[in-house]
């Protein structure tokens, strides 16, 4: 029979389970029999498909055309097939590397997803355990609370005002209130999914209340599994930088095509007029055009960017910042405003009651303990939400043990806590058959609902003077940065007929206040100072009282005066226009409702700011989604917020956000260094070929350029991505999010550095020819080609050292980059092998060179270091002048 038509007892019986949950051994056995509670993912592309995908790249197509034409030429002219083999080898290596780096990036993201995998609270062996949601089995009794994602299909056993958002399944956007009794079919054959009010389904989420449920289906047997036979993992979007680079390569490809046609045309004209480039025909001319294409397209760039990003996110995860969307890495570097929750992110969320105000401390302790979802475990240690834990401990210190009290006066009804209302109530059955309601919450909300107060022995009517006294005490506690909670009670002769806030929470009798300390996290103050230096504004947003918030914000250096703080109520009074002009004044928002958070984010964004926003509660999802960087909390955060976040903090710590921003800036800077390195290299090659063609000789062949672009340049480029951050990374304002890749003079640097490398390469060509034949002349020279190749690749190697910093002298860098030194050594070795080992040398059509020539080439290449150092020196001087 269908579970929703049965009573919960019948369901448990059928599932061979109990309300205390399964035994561990039974759960293990069921997991083995039925498999993990997972939806099967769409099959990934096979290796062959992935390899074939790589061949779609226009660059690869040009190369294959070149290989075919070289092959045909070789057949007709009887020359060797070396070119064909080298080009094909490069194409294959490039495709394999492409697939490898793609899968590496995928694996990095998968590993991160595994870290942030969902967990569920489940009853096993009569105790509450937290297990991975994928390890749940049919018959498990799960506990649900606001913010949880439902991990499987389940029949409700218990519900305290549970409301479930089922839009993903039914399309219904209004949360559904749930019941626990068996449903009746009536005349219908079946009950539709949306009307099965005693069931909850995988893929929906708890938005309010608490409850428990027995799992009836897991994995692909769930309703969700039936709809989506296989869900495709959302494809990782490309980051803005990757998109810009793709656009760049499209532009480059067209440009190259244009230049190729131009060069091809010139060469053909010269061929007709004066025999053209000595000794080559139309096919040779075509190969010149191909080499130009090879020279101009930055083949390694996309791979380098992906590799640097994926290494970066893995590193960030080790520092507790778990990136869920690759795009976040770049956006982090542009962050201008960080809006942070107070409790748990700026503070430790380790609360202890240190002060109280009442006329009957035992009653205060009783109310705070009973109106509370935390509990004492077997070791008499309180577990649950930190505010509530503090109160259970407080009661315990007064000799009140929660479980003993609940045994005598059990909870029979409740209106669960919700951060909008800032109150919580429970109803308890007394021994004499009457009912007592306890309500606790924010004093400013609760006191206004009290019509009387408890004087230790009887109820007295609430007076203005008493209210004043309570408010003053509240303020004195809040000014000491304490979180203040108040408690009240209400007596009922019979069970209250409704369990709603509206019905229960008025005509209350005030009992007292507790003040609890929540120490600030010591690492946060320096992190905020770092943000200030880095031009990033820190904004505190909290549900807590204004005075508490202000006291803590002052301790942390977020504000210096109370005029920089505003409450949610005051914010509601301000028009959008007014808020747009005033937003700069406020850095503390107190007593806010979740919807205020969205308003704050949008107001900053309307000013063109890039905003990061943290959130933990179920109502924070909209603001996290709206923010440019939505940040979820790994420890205290709800599933709902974590699922929409761009980044999750494994340690809930504000300082981790600042580390992540620093990493974001470092990674972006490094990618720019790699881009500058690779593109200036491409430019130098294009210019060299252009000049050579105009002068009528061949300086480098396609295979030579391919070798440099794809082999010897790639290692230093990746190594540049691993540079440590520069000393001033967090002393500069954030970069503008709309800034192009070549902003800040990078374009100009690329151009002059490209010209510089061209000059040394051309010089090497002529010197090489001169050293061999003893005359200076413009002609085709195999010795010149050899020297030009050696100098170009070594100049690139030295230039990678220059790229460690855009402005700083490389002799003054505080850090070392061992990867770069290894990469440079690899470049040097590979280039030397190509030049020295006879068979490889022959395949590349190089001439043997003397030691003298070898060191001449190296010396010419080395020139790029002093030249760049001198230019950097003047650039620094110039920039200092601009600052003054
Ligand atoms: P932040 O937004 O910085 O995390 P917060 O944790 O104080 O701040 P909420 O959890 O929304 O924000 O709490 C808002 C207010 O509700 C608290 O200041 C407190 O007065 C009251 N409150 C918090 N927890 C409870 C609870 N368990 N029972 C009753 N009232 C509570």
If you write DSSP's letter for every residue of 502-571 in order, what string do you get? HHHSSSEEEEEEEEEE-PBPTTHHHHHHHHHHTT-EEEEE-SS-HHHHHHHHHHHTS-SSGGGEEEHHHH
Which residue's C-alpha comes closest to atom 1 of ligand 1? 542
- 374 CB less than 6 Å from ligand 1? no
- 544 CB less than 6 Å from ligand 1? yes
Tell me if residue 612 falls in helix, strand or coil. strand
pLDDT, tens digit (0-9, with 9 covering 90-100), for 180-201: 888 888 777 888 888 899 999 9
Q: How many residues does this entry show for the chain?
A: 884
pLDDT, tens digit (0-9, with 9 covering 90-100), for 831-871: 999 999 999 998 888 999 899 999 999 999 999 999 999 99
- 593 CB less than 6 Å from ligand 1? no
What confidence score (pLDDT) does residue 228 get?
61
Residue 40 has pLDDT above 80, yes or no: no
DSSP-derived secondary structure for 133-144? GGG--TT-EEEE
What confidence score (pLDDT) does residue 231 get?
42
Sign of CA dihedral 869, 874, 878, 884: positive
Closest ligand 1 atom to the C-alpha of 385? 27
pLDDT, tens digit (0-9, with 9 covering 90-100), for 678-708: 999 999 998 998 899 888 888 988 888 888 8
Q: What is the 840 CA–ligand 1 centroid distance (Å)?
A: 72
Active site residues: 341
CA 357 to chain centre: 44
- 598 CB less than 6 Å from ligand 1? no
Q: What is the 207 CA–ligand 1 centroid distance (Å)?
A: 17
What confidence score (pLDDT) does residue 858 get?
94
Closest ligand 1 atom to the C-alpha of 441? 30
- Contact indicator for 727, 814 with CB cutoff of 8 Å: yes
Residue 217 has pLDDT above 90, yes or no: yes
Mean pLDDT of 594-610: 92
Choose among 288, 291, 298: nearest CA to 264.
Answer: 288
What confidence score (pLDDT) does residue 257 get?
76
The residue assigned the tokens 């704050």 is 600
Q: What is the 412 CA–ligand 1 centroid distance (Å)?
A: 24
Which residue's C-alpha comes closest to atom 27 of ligand 1? 388
- Which of the four pLDDT bands, split at 50, 70 and 90, describes residue 168? confident
Indicate the helix (H) or strand (E) that contains 61.
Answer: helix 58-77
| Strands (DSSP E) found in 82-231 | 119-124, 127-132, 141-145, 153-165, 176-177, 199-200, 205-217
Closest ligand 1 atom to the C-alpha of 422? 16
Test site for ligand 1: of 341, 422, 558, most ligand atoms within 8 A of the Cβ: 422
Tell me if residue 300 falls in helix, strand or coil. coil
What confidence score (pLDDT) does residue 237 get?
56
Q: What is the 323 CA–ligand 1 centroid distance (Å)?
A: 28
Which residue's C-alpha comes closest to atom 10 of ligand 1? 419
Domains annotated for the chain, with CATH where assigned, are 3-41+115-233 (2.70.150.10), 241-318+667-883 (1.20.1110.10), 321-347+522-652 (3.40.50.1000), 352-517 (3.40.1110.10)
What confidence score (pLDDT) does residue 408 get?
95
What confidence score (pLDDT) does residue 620 get?
86
Closest ligand 1 atom to the C-alpha of 346? 3
pLDDT, tens digit (0-9, with 9 covering 90-100), for 743-773: 888 999 999 999 999 999 999 999 999 998 8
Which residue's C-alpha comes closest to atom 31 of ligand 1? 441
- Which of the four pLDDT bands, split at 50, 70 and 90, describes residue 232? very low
- 341 CB less than 6 Å from ligand 1? yes
- 808 CB less than 6 Å from ligand 1? no
- Contact indicator for 392, 381 with CB cutoff of 8 Å: no
pLDDT, tens digit (0-9, with 9 covering 90-100), for 723-743: 998 888 899 899 888 887 888
Radius of gyration of the chain (CA): 35
CA 141 to chain centre: 33
Mean pLDDT of 559-564: 95
Q: What is the 259 CA–ligand 1 centroid distance (Å)?
A: 66
Q: What is the 199 CA–ligand 1 centroid distance (Å)?
A: 30
Choose among 535, 159, 178, 104: nearest CA to 326.
Answer: 104
Mean pLDDT of 167-189: 82
Test site for ligand 1: of 421, 444, 485, 614, most ligand atoms within 8 A of the Cβ: 485
- Percent of all residues in the chain with a pLDDT value above 90, rounded to a whole number: 54
Give the residue with greater pLDDT, 145 vs 252: 145
Tell me if residue 613 falls in helix, strand or coil. strand
- 547 CB less than 6 Å from ligand 1? no
Mean pLDDT of 87-113: 75
Q: What is the 422 CA–ligand 1 centroid distance (Å)?
A: 6
Measured at the CA of 434, the angle between CA 431 and CA 437, to 5 degrees, comes to 100
What confidence score (pLDDT) does residue 614 get?
94
Least confident of 59-68, 399-408, 763-772, 836-845: 59-68
Give the residue with greater pLDDT, 276 vs 446: 446
What confidence score (pLDDT) does residue 505 get?
96
Q: What is the 353 CA–ligand 1 centroid distance (Å)?
A: 15
What confidence score (pLDDT) does residue 146 get?
87
3-state secondary structure 790-815: HHHHHHHHHHHHHCCCCCCCHHHCCC
Pairing of strands 629-633, 611-615: parallel
- 414 CB less than 6 Å from ligand 1? no
What confidence score (pLDDT) does residue 714 get?
84
Mean pLDDT of 580-596: 92
Contacts of residue 647, Cβ cutoff 8 Å, sequence gap at least 6: 321, 322, 323, 324, 325, 328, 332, 629, 630, 631, 632, 660
- 387 CB less than 6 Å from ligand 1? yes
Q: What is the 709 CA–ligand 1 centroid distance (Å)?
A: 58
Contacts of residue 878, Cβ cutoff 8 Å, sequence gap at least 6: none
Which residue's C-alpha comes closest to atom 20 of ligand 1? 442
Closest ligand 1 atom to the C-alpha of 344? 4
pLDDT, tens digit (0-9, with 9 covering 90-100), for 465-498: 999 999 999 999 999 999 999 999 999 999 999 9
- 358 CB less than 6 Å from ligand 1? no
Residue 388 has pLDDT above 90, yes or no: yes
Mean pLDDT of 50-71: 75
Distance CA 518, CA 351 (A): 5
Closest ligand 1 atom to the C-alpha of 549? 3
| Tokens encoding 229 | 């036979």
Test site for ligand 1: of 345, 371, 439, 441, most ligand atoms within 8 A of the Cβ: 441
Test site for ligand 1: of 544, 553, 567, most ligand atoms within 8 A of the Cβ: 544
Q: What is the 636 CA–ligand 1 centroid distance (Å)?
A: 13
Of 86-100, 164-178, 429-443, 672-686, highest mean pLDDT: 429-443
- 417 CB less than 6 Å from ligand 1? yes
Distance CA 737, CA 335 (A): 9
What confidence score (pLDDT) does residue 835 get?
92
Tell me if residue 732 falls in helix, strand or coil. coil
Q: What is the 781 CA–ligand 1 centroid distance (Å)?
A: 80
What confidence score (pLDDT) does residue 235 get?
45
Closest ligand 1 atom to the C-alpha of 445? 20
Which residue's C-alpha comes closest to atom 16 of ligand 1? 422
Strand partners, 612: 338, 629
What confidence score (pLDDT) does residue 491 get?
96
């Amino acid at each position: 029979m269908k579970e929703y038509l049965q009573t919960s007892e019948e369901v448990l019986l059928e599932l061979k389970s109990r309300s205390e949950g399964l035994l561990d051994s039974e759960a293990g056995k069921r997991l083995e029999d039925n498999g993990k509670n997972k939806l099967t993912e769409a099959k990934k592309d096979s290796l062959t498909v992935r390899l074939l995908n790589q061949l779609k790249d226009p660059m690869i197509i040009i190369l294959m055309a070149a290989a075919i034409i070289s092959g045909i030429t070789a057949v007709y002219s009887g020359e060797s097939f070396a070119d064909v083999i080298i080009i094909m080898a490069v194409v294959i290596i490039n495709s394999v590397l492409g697939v490898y780096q793609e899968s590496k990036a995928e694996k990095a993201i998968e590993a991160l997803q595994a870290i942030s995998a969902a967990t569920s609270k489940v009853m096993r062996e009569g105790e509450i355990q937290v297990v991975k949601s994928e390890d749940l089995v049919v018959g498990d009794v799960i506990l649900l609370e606001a913010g949880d994602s439902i991990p499987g299909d389940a029949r409700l056993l218990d519900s305290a005002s549970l409301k479930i958002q089922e839009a993903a399944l039914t399309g219904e956007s209004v949360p559904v209130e749930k019941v626990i009794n068996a449903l009746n079919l009536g005349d219908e054959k079946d009950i539709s999914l949306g009307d099965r009010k005693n069931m909850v389904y995988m893929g929906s989420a708890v938005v309010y209340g608490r409850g428990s449920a027995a799992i009836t289906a897991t994995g692909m047997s769930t309703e969700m599994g039936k709809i989506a036979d296989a869900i495709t993992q959302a494809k990782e979007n490309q980051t803005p930088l990757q998109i810009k680079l793709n656009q760049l390569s499209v532009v480059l490809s067209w440009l190259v095509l244009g230049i190729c046609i131009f060069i091809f045309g010139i060469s053909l004209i010269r061929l007709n007029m004066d025999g053209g480039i000595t000794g080559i025909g139309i096919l040779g001319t075509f190969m010149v055009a191909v080499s130009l294409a090879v020279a101009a397209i930055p083949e390694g760039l996309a791979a380098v960017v992906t590799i640097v990003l994926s290494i970066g996110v893995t590193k960030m995860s080790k520092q507790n910042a778990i990136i869920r969307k690759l795009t976040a890495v770049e956006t982090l570097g542009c962050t201008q405003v960080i809006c942070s929750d107070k409790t748990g992110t700026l503070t430790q969320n380790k609360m202890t009651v240190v002060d109280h105000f009442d006329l009957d401390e035992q009653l205060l302790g009783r109310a705070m303990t009973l109106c509370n979802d935390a509990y004492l475990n077997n070791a008499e240690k309180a577990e649950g939400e930190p505010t509530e834990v503090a109160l259970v401990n407080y009661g315990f210190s007064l000799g009140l043990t929660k479980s003993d009290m609940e045994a005598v006066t059990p909870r029979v009804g409740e209106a669960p806590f919700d951060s909008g209302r800032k109150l919580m109530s429970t109803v308890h059955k007394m021994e004499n058959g009457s009912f007592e309601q306890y309500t606790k919450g924010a004093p400013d909300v609760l006191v206004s609902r009290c019509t009387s107060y408890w004087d230790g022995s009887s109820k007295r009517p609430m007076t203005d003077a008493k209210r004043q006294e309570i408010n003053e005490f509240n303020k004195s506690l809040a000014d000491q940065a304490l979180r203040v909670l108040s408690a009240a009670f209400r007596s009922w002769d019979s069970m209250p007929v409704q369990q709603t806030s509206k019905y229960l929470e008025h005509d209350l009798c005030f009992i007292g206040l507790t003040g609890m300390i929540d120490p600030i996290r010591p690492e946060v103050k320096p992190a905020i100072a770092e943000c200030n230096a880095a031009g990033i504004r820190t904004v505190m947003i909290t549900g807590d009282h204004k005075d508490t918030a202000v006291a803590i914000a002052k301790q942390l250096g977020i504000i210096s005066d109370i005029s920089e703080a505003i409450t949610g109520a005051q914010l509601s009074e301000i028009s959008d226009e007014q808020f747009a002009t005033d937003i700069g004044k406020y850095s503390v928002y107190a007593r806010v409702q979740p919807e205020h958070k969205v308003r704050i984010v949008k107001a900053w964004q309307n000013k063109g700011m890039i905003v990061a926003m943290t959130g933990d509660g179920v109502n924070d999802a909209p603001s996290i989604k709206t923010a440019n960087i939505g940040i979820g909390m790994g420890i205290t955060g709800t599933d709902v917020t974590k699922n929409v976040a761009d980044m999750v903090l494994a340690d809930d710590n504000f300082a981790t956000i600042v580390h992540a921003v620093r990493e974001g800036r470092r990674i972006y800077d490094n990618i720019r260094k790699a881009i500058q390195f690779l593109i200036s290299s491409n430019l130098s090659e294009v210019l060299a070929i252009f000049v050579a063609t105009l002068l009528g000789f061949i300086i480098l062949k396609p295979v030579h350029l391919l070798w440099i672009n794809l082999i010897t340049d790639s290692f230093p480029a990746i190594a540049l991505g691993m540079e440590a951050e520069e000393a001033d990374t967090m002393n500069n304002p954030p970069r503008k999010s709309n800034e192009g890749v070549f902003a800040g003079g990078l374009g100009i640097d690329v151009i002059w550095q490209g010209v510089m490398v061209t000059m040394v390469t051309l010089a090497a060509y002529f010197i090489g020819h001169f050293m061999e034949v003893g005359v200076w002349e413009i002609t085709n020279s195999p010795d010149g080609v050899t020297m030009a190749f050696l100098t170009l690749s070594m100049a690139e190697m030295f230039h990678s050292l220059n790229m460690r910093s855009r402005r700083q002298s490389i002799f003054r860098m505080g850090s070392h980059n061992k990867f770069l030194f290894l990469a440079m050594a690899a470049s040097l070795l590979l280039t030397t092998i190509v030049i020295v080992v006879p068979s490889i040398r022959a395949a590349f059509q190089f001439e043997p060179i003397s030691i003298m020539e070898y060191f001449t080439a190296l010396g010419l290449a080395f020139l790029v270091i002093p030249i760049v150092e001198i230019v950097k020196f003047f650039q620094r001087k110039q920039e200092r002048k601009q600052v003054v």
